[in-house]
Amino acid sequence: MISKIELCNWMPFKGTHIIALTKPFVHIVGQYQRNEKESNGSGKSSILQAIYFCLFGKTQTSLIHGDETVMYVKLYLDDGTIIQKGTDGAWINGEKTTNALINAYSERILNMTDKMFLYTHCILNGEIKGLFELSPKEQKQFLMDISTYKQDWEGLYDKSKWILSEVNKKIASYITRIEFIDEKLELVNISDAHDTLLQSQTELIAKEQELASFNAQEQDIFAQIVALKSGIETCKNTIHLINTTKEQQQAYHAKKKELTEQSDKLTADLKNYKSITAISNDLKLANENIMSVTVKLSGITKQLQKYKVSNGKCPILDTECPQVTLLKEKASEWTTEQEVLTISLSAFTKSKDMIQTAHDAVFSINQQLHSISQSFFMLGDAPEPPEDVNIYLTKQSDLEQQLIKLEGAFDSDFKERLLQSITQLQQRIPILESTIKSYNDYSNEKEMYDAKVSSVESKKKIVSVATKLLSPHGLPYYLSLKLLTTLEQYTNEFLKFMDTSVYITPYKVLNSMEDTCIIDGYKFKANDEVCPVCNNKREKKIESQITIYSGDRGIPLDGESTGRKAIFFTALRFGLMKLLNTQGKILIVDEVFANLDDTNKQKLLDMINHASKELNIEQIFIVSNDELKDILPVTVSVTRLADKSIIA
């Protein structure tokens, strides 16, 4: 399996050390240079620790020799694979990898996990007990994990208890609803309700027939009354229409008079002005005069401006003009003409404003006259003269007198009482029908909930059985017992070589009773023998503790000597390997032969040899002091010097 081990600055081994392995049995011993009889602390167990480190371990500073900075362990496997771990990381066949991948590779070649390797094939630093070093809870969980029926039993148990609790809640809710329905049903006497309904329906039929007979007798009177009321209403509408027409005539004549007066006044005002055409011509002439004066005034103003700017000089020669006297006279004329033009412009402007005012007034009067003309058009012709209103007033009075006589002949109170009676019956019958329907609905609902309770009770029985099976008293207990019985059988097959045996007890049943129900968690009272919730019998407590006894002395293994413990727990490891069918190829045994006499050393070695064949173990690493020197040849010898260890 492992053909060579290479160590570099590994724990006590300084520098590089190579261990070639050619035999299936690798016997490692150690000694001190100063005292060959002393072997503890020489470094022999460090070789086994190096194997475990390379397979599953993590790099720690405590594993590096002294002050060295580089450390690694290499394992050369017989299939050519090289595994390496150290301060520079993890490697497989010279390629960088991770610790996790090497651990996964180790699990594959060993056919087991790191934890399983320590429980079965690997005894390091005298940790012989392995699995049985764990707490009772961890032992129990391990047995459940390796069971053929591997399950999360505690999780299933908790889930089953939860389901049972939910079922109980559901039953309680159903019962609460049934009790509510019973209260509702007690409020109604269903027999009386049916009788009252039948009586009311019969009475309603009779009243409706009586009303139909009354209606048949009074039909003519009602028809006449309707006709009279219609005639009266027609008279009222006609009278209203006549009065409305009179009001419209009055309004028409008043409006026409008002418009005529407005038109006459505006026509008289219009005579005070010229025609709109004449005014427009005057306005045009005024604008032309203003424009002409404005042009002349602008020209004279520019001439005066030039004169003032030149100050009497020639603008080309910049000297006094020879015609300066004539120029001054001309400027005086321009000034006089400018004043005359300015006065004319002011007069023309005022004239224009007066003409514009007249124009606006005429235009406004024409607009108002046009509007009045439109109003006359919209007013139209006068309404036709209405009929004589007195004709319809007389007719209305006659019809009203006839109506009074007919209404006096009709017994309206009798019909009103009859209608009230029918209305009351029509209101009562739906209430009775609704009450009976509600009663029937509640009855049906109760039957439904009774069926649900029955169904859920059946389910509760099934869940209760399942919960009991999943409890510590059920399948987990049975499966643990079965596994431990098989482990005991396999272990004793190996202990035949030691002329002894073991017997294993599962979880111990105590005399004290459980404090809570194993099914639904009900807390028992002192004298309870069954659970009042699920009717389950109160169980005795179980102590979660596996106890292993030696067959020849009948005492727990913890009470045995160190040497006998090594024998028993080594055999238990072999039994566990066979139980799990581990198929591991390597066995590491660190100092289990100490404290044994020569006879038991040979027997234990024979048991290991048998186990290697029985369990298909190909390579065995054994570390001893000097107790096997006459039985097993030494493969590797470690010598401890002053500051390091070397391999001979």
Compute mean pLDDT per 10 residues along the chain, 648 residues long, and list them.
95 95 92 83 92 91 90 95 95 94 93 91 88 80 67 67 79 89 88 91 90 78 82 90 85 85 85 83 88 88 81 65 75 84 87 87 86 83 78 87 76 78 90 91 91 80 60 60 86 94 79 74 80 78 78 91 93 92 90 90 94 94 88 92 89
Alpha-carbon span 431 to 435, nearest angstrom? 6
Q: Which of 348, 237, 218 is nearest to 296 (CA)?
A: 348
- Look at residue 314 in the predicted model and tell me its pLDDT: 63
Alpha-carbon span 414 to 503, nearest angstrom? 108
Report how far Cα 198 is from the mean position of its chain's Cα atoms. Answer: 57
Question: What letter represents residue 359's amino acid?
Answer: H
> Which residue matches tokens 């007013």?
379
Is residue 484 classed exposed, middle or buried when 0-12, 13-18 and 19+ CB atoms within 10 A define those classes?
buried
**Which domains does the chain carry?**
1-121+583-648 (3.40.50.300), 154-218+411-445 (1.20.58), 257-379 (1.10.287)
Backbone phi, psi, residue 640, to 5°: -95, 120
Q: Which of 597, 605, 610, 580 is nearest to 493 (CA)?
A: 610
Question: Contact 305/260 with Cβ under 8 angstroms?
Answer: no
HSE (side-chain half, CA atoms, 13 Å) at 30: 26
Length of the chain: 648
- Look at residue 538 in the predicted model and tell me its pLDDT: 82
Report how far apart, in Å, the C-alpha atoms of 246 and of each of 216, 250, 254, 445, 499 are: 46, 6, 13, 76, 144
Question: Contact 480/547 with Cβ under 8 angstroms?
Answer: no
- Look at residue 466 in the predicted model and tell me its pLDDT: 61
Query: Which tokens go with 390?
Result: 């007195």
